Structure 1
Amino acid sequence: MKRPADLLCAAVLVAGLAACGDEPEREPLPSGIVMHVDQTRLERKTRNVFVRVENNTKSPLTITGFVLSSPRFDRVTWQGDESMEPGQQADLEFTMPPGRCGDGVDASVRLTYRTGDSDERESVGRADDPFKAIGLLLDRDCARKTLAEAADLEVGTPQVEGTGPTSVLRVPITLTPTGKRDDVRFGGFESTPLFRQAGDSPVDVDEPISSEQPTRIVMSVVPARCDPHALAEDKVGRLFGMRVLAPGLPDNSWFYLPLDGDQQKAFYAYFRATCGV
């Protein structure tokens, strides 16, 4: 008498699909292999992220590939050859695909690896988001996508108003309606470590985005501090959060205002001229 498993394999073969024996064995991850998804602060204006693998076992570990899955982005495949001794860790870098709206990250990793002199094997494990950096990146994608459904965003040329320490840098922004939805609203801008929003800049607002004509907004900023170290050590000083309000979005949804190279240079030039550094 055939076993149920044999009957199942026969049915699969009749259907023209791969034989049961072709499915790779998925062992549980050995105790001590821990995985995280993360992004460093220096990479916040990019989509460069990584899976960090910690080898807390007593054997050398070699990673040759992984498949990263999440409901919030398309599947990511990585191949390489990364070895680590017991107690070491490795960051396996990749470019994050565009994110979808949702909650958390809920990342699963199918890891291909060897421990010590073992044959290559595959295991599936979870990867947490310890500092919520990946969740925030995906939330920014969601906010940007939501705004794009309602309006096309155009950032104009920054202009300096006034002279000396009392001058203000103003950035014109135009939101041209797409006609696809009329329930998205503008929530204001956020400051950065290098620049703060000026008194007349919209910060905590709730303004409808017109579905019939362009909405024009001006972001106005001044230096948050005036010392050479602030400029020399700056990494995120031009990453201005732009808040988006819409049904289904968390209350504090935002994304980075997109600035091209010339626009970014204008901020630094203004800082130097105003602060005299």
Structure 2
Amino acid sequence: MRRVVALVCSAALLSGLGACTGELPQVVPMPDGVTLLSDQSRLHRKDREIYIRIQNKSDKPIHIEAFTLMSERITDVKWTGDEEVPAGTEADLEYDMPSAKCGTGFTPTVRLTYRMGNGKRVESDARADDRYGSISHAMDRDCAESTLNEAAKLEVGDPSIVGDGRESVFHLPVTMTPTGKRADVRFGGFGSTVLFNQAEGSPADVDVPLTGSPIKIEMLVTPARCDGHALADDKVGRLFDVKVLGDDVGKNASFYLPLNTPQRVKFFDFYRSHCGLD
């Protein structure tokens, strides 16, 4: 629910001697016991949802009305809502991360608008550190993807299966057509996941310049293990890293190979047939 500041008009306005304005909240230090941090749930690695966690270790409830998050790597994020965090508890304020620029780390400043207990509406500035580096990694994926897309157009073809049963291998054709805009960018290979390993012959660790004629490659994978429970519970098993090498991307930069729904389904169908889980 969006909170609206009430405007109180004085008698002077009625006589034409003044104006009606809303009172701006006072900026004060963050209360003792209230801290902020940034993180992203494992379940949201494929999407853009991240959050600020408000940790309230004070002896009063804190009522959050708004925040503005500022970072050099993304445009400012503005959140409004109605969230009460009782004393001794914590709460997450979710938002969708804007597309990130190339850079290092994530150390945002947050201006929080709130009330402590029955106190007045105030604002405080605080850091919301990326405690596990998960958001920084998400931003690095944005950088890697935008860098590769500047250098080449990536297209994923229709998969096929070669062999039978435990001898079968999943083949996924990928074409990268250089744009001619970047000579420094190279393809570094594909990464494995918790469900699938790169098979022999797959370009897992390479250094291929994205220049000249279209580059046609195949990603080859086999199940990392045959476990029906792992398959049923999986959330990230089809997030294959596309490694990117270039002047303005960090070490081990990568982004997730874009797969459509039919392609993702075929990975699971292969897993079941390879492992005899049908």
Q: TM-score, normalised by structure 2?
A: 0.90
**Secondary structure of 1:170's match?**
strand
How much has 1:253 moved relative to structure 2?
A: 0.6
Name the residue aligned to 2:264: 264
Give runs of ≥4 in structure 1 deviating > 4 Å: 21-24
Question: In structure 1, how many angstroms separate the alpha carbons of the residues matched to 2:235 and 2:62?
Answer: 34
Name the residue aligned to 1:225: 225
Matched, 1:66 2:67: yes
Is contact 2:37–2:129 with CA below 8 Å preserved after alignment? yes
**Secondary structure of 1:122's match?**
strand
Question: In structure 2, how many angstroms separate the alpha carbons of the residues matched to 1:171 and 1:236?
Answer: 18
Matched, 1:108 2:109: yes
Alignment of structure 1 residues 16-55 onto 2, 5 Å: 24-55=25-56
How much has 1:199 moved relative to structure 2?
A: 0.7
Name the residue aligned to 2:194: 193
Question: In structure 1, how many angstroms separate the alpha carbons of the residues matched to 2:86 and 2:24?
Answer: 30
Identity %: 50
**Secondary structure of 2:28's match?**
strand
Deviations 1:135-157 (A, max 9, x none): 00000000001101100111111
Alignment of structure 1 residues 167-178 onto 2, 5 Å: 167-178=168-179
Question: In structure 1, how many angstroms separate the alpha carbons of the residues matched to 2:186 and 2:202?
Answer: 16
How much has 1:22 moved relative to structure 2?
A: 7.5
How much has 1:37 moved relative to structure 2?
A: 1.0
How much has 1:254 moved relative to structure 2?
A: 0.6
Is contact 2:54–2:91 with CA below 8 Å preserved after alignment? yes
Question: In structure 1, how many angstroms separate the alpha carbons of the residues matched to 2:250 and 2:49?
Answer: 25
Name the residue aligned to 1:235: 235
**Secondary structure of 2:43's match?**
helix
Deviations 1:225-267 (A, max 9, x none): 0021110111110000110000132221111111111110010
How much has 1:213 moved relative to structure 2?
A: 1.7
How much has 1:24 moved relative to structure 2?
A: 4.8
- Unmatched tracts of structure 2, length 5 or more: 1-21
Deviations 1:70-114 (A, max 9, x none): 001111111111111111000001111101100111201010101
- Tell me the matched-pair count: 256
Deviations 1:21-46 (A, max 9, x none): 97653211111111111101111111
Is contact 2:150–2:179 with CA below 8 Å preserved after alignment? yes
Name the residue aligned to 2:3: none
Name the residue aligned to 2:253: 253
Question: In structure 2, how many angstroms separate the alpha carbons of the residues matched to 1:146 and 1:159?
Answer: 29
Name the residue aligned to 1:135: 136
- Unmatched tracts of structure 1, length 5 or more: 1-20
Name the residue aligned to 2:210: 209
Name the residue aligned to 2:163: 162
**Secondary structure of 1:28's match?**
coil
Matched, 1:78 2:60: no
- The residue identity in structure 2 corresponding to 1:223 is P
Question: In structure 2, how many angstroms separate the alpha carbons of the residues matched to 1:154 and 1:229?
Answer: 32
Question: In structure 2, how many angstroms separate the alpha carbons of the residues matched to 1:249 and 1:148?
Answer: 13
Name the residue aligned to 1:150: 151
Question: In structure 1, how many angstroms separate the alpha carbons of the residues matched to 2:267 and 2:84?
Answer: 43
CA distance 1:23–1:61, change in 2 (3 Å): closer
- The residue identity in structure 1 corresponding to 2:213 is Q
Q: TM-score, normalised by structure 1?
A: 0.90
- The residue identity in structure 1 corresponding to 2:258 is P
- The residue identity in structure 2 corresponding to 1:150 is A
Question: In structure 2, how many angstroms separate the alpha carbons of the residues matched to 1:96 and 1:251?
Answer: 22
Question: In structure 2, how many angstroms separate the alpha carbons of the residues matched to 1:97 and 1:158?
Answer: 32
